Structure 1
């Protein structure tokens, strides 16, 4: 192969995990990064509610980073409406999320990459092979349709739930998978709000809604069988209690993982590394993954920047605190997703906020 086609590290995916790793690796490395996103709105965009939780804020603060204004959206909301459709309960809980445009957030993280990183946007990885102590990576430019094959010593999967790296080399790793479906609508509610919805009749996971720059997003994670039908059924239930949808402006979907045990996390081996959701590093209770994506990328950068023997084992050892933290989310899940336990917690009112009803702020759940 030509010298320009030889790299030390190939990173597949430049979301929060891949972009953070590419930014933190020492410039001595020859790095190629491949991602489907484009700077324009007509390419791939990650379907996401677009909230930065306190753990993700702390991860960004650890790099002394500040968010640019154009990443933020209106409004900034201070509480989440937790809605239990089965038990007909609602509680408000204080949360310290930052409401942002997820696509602009991802592009901002990419903009921080040093010039030493060779970034190929609007491209998709098509084939991976292990060969002669390294890896052959084939990818296609989605605009020109041209395919290029390069070689790298290390291969990093930062390509999310449907990771081609994990599927190619670890097909036996079968984590719980859901289809995340999201629709955007013109915002017509009197008061913007953020909600977390539980409806075991349509999904054993959660749904969400969020007001964002005069638009209203509704989405959820649904079992793969009849996912769209489940989504529409839940929408109909929510309309009965006051949600306003109308004609959708756009619909988007992607796979999302949800670990169920400590064994679900996947580290990679022999020069392959998995970070972020590709490794299963996502909260089983809330499906939040940005903080773990940044944390696992930071950990891997430290391992690769200070090379010693057995980098895969060192990476796995150093991610133990993160894996333990995520496992506590697995243990926490029953209190959120088992109807009886959730009912006890919500009826207790512990840590909930009492909402004052006024003429300007009438009860949300008055039927139409």
Structure 2
């Protein structure tokens, strides 16, 4: 019998396991092989790999320091904003840590307490309630295994299987599909580029440089010709001078966009959700790591007094996350309404001029 079983070893699941692993008997499962490093993994996490200021603040609060080998060139201090709808472009000062996302996840796993039982190459299948807790089933290296636990934590990201089992799909955040491709890029690109175009998506697209590569990604409605719109995006950007000839790989993942505070769902009984599985992701920027770290810290604090009643304590603590989501939704119209965005960009407010 485990005390806590965590599904997903991303930032939310690994951070929680680290914070509670010395007090509780913890089982952590993940479908990836995070124990054996594979620098040429073609099935990596579909993520831009930028650590935003809010996430940096949470790293500091957790008393952690990121090893330098996780960081990649270039480090980014500006966002190039391209509004294709209004044919406008501006440069804004922002501070991001550019990192290798897979190495970041492996590092978080590497600092777990030794007592944490880790099962990688494992896929969660389902659970049933039993006296004193739950029995879950998962596939590990092709073999079905069952485990008993007092509490289940879903840290399995957007389109969380555990969340769907809890019958919360009716009030789930709006779903997008993120498509991201890697291209060879021998030229120095010093910006994180954000692209807005209503013909492509009512969310946004991005270009991120990493060493000798360029990542082109877009958050698209999954049932509205997503692949065709991604190709149209490439065509439009090629006309503006970008080069997408030498493709290395393609990644894809579901992405949540909570537009109502009620779409953040903490869980029920002795089952809790953290990170994006709960709906913790910015509706304005799709940044999720800060919410993953924050929600897992709140849940760890809620478990300090024991498993009994932990979910009620957790629901009280995440009120701050819900308020943050509300504020981000209030901010969104200035970014995603074409007229308001045009007025803001034309004003030049807070923009910086590029020195010739």
TM category (shorter chain) comes to over 0.9
Of 170-179 and 260-269, more deviation after overlay is shown by 170-179
Q: Paired residue for 1:366?
A: none
- Written as runs of structure 1 = structure 2, the 5 A alignment for 1:1-368 is 6-38=1-33, 39-41=36-38, 42=41, 44-141=43-140, 144-170=141-167, 171-225=169-223, 226-307=225-306, 310-357=309-356
Matched residue of 1:305: which SS?
coil
C-alpha distance in 1, partners of 2:170/2:85?
Answer: 35
Q: Paired residue for 1:363?
A: none
C-alpha distance in 2, partners of 1:8/1:308?
Answer: 8
C-alpha distance in 2, partners of 1:230/1:218?
Answer: 13
Shift of 1:190: 4.9
Of 204-213 and 303-312, more deviation after overlay is shown by 303-312
Conserved 8 A contact 2:43-2:251: no
C-alpha distance in 2, partners of 1:233/1:223?
Answer: 14
Deviations 1:106-131 (A, max 9, x none): 11011110011001112111222223
Sort the Cα spacing of 1:308 and 1:21 in 2 relative to 1 into closer, same or farther, 3 A: closer
C-alpha distance in 2, partners of 1:195/1:223?
Answer: 21
Count of residues in Structure 1 that have an aligned counterpart in Structure 2: 350
Deviations 1:16-62 (A, max 9, x none): 10000000005231110001222333374211111001111111111
Sort the Cα spacing of 1:242 and 1:117 in 2 relative to 1 into closer, same or farther, 3 A: same
Q: If the length of structure 1 is used for normalisation, what is the TM-score?
A: 0.92
Conserved 8 A contact 2:4-2:151: yes
Of 33-42 and 221-230, more deviation after overlay is shown by 33-42
Sort the Cα spacing of 1:22 and 1:325 in 2 relative to 1 into closer, same or farther, 3 A: same
Conserved 8 A contact 1:160-1:278: yes
Sort the Cα spacing of 1:191 and 1:172 in 2 relative to 1 into closer, same or farther, 3 A: closer
Sort the Cα spacing of 1:133 and 1:157 in 2 relative to 1 into closer, same or farther, 3 A: same
Conserved 8 A contact 1:189-1:244: no
Q: Over aligned residue pairs, what C-alpha RMSD do you find?
A: 1.3
Q: Paired residue for 1:365?
A: none
Matched residue of 1:97: which SS?
strand
Q: If the length of structure 2 is used for normalisation, what is the TM-score?
A: 0.95
Deviations 1:309-347 (A, max 9, x none): 532121011111111012111111111001001111111
C-alpha distance in 2, partners of 1:245/1:186?
Answer: 8
Deviations 1:231-258 (A, max 9, x none): 1111111111111111310000000000
Matched residue of 1:220: which SS?
strand
Shift of 1:289: 0.5
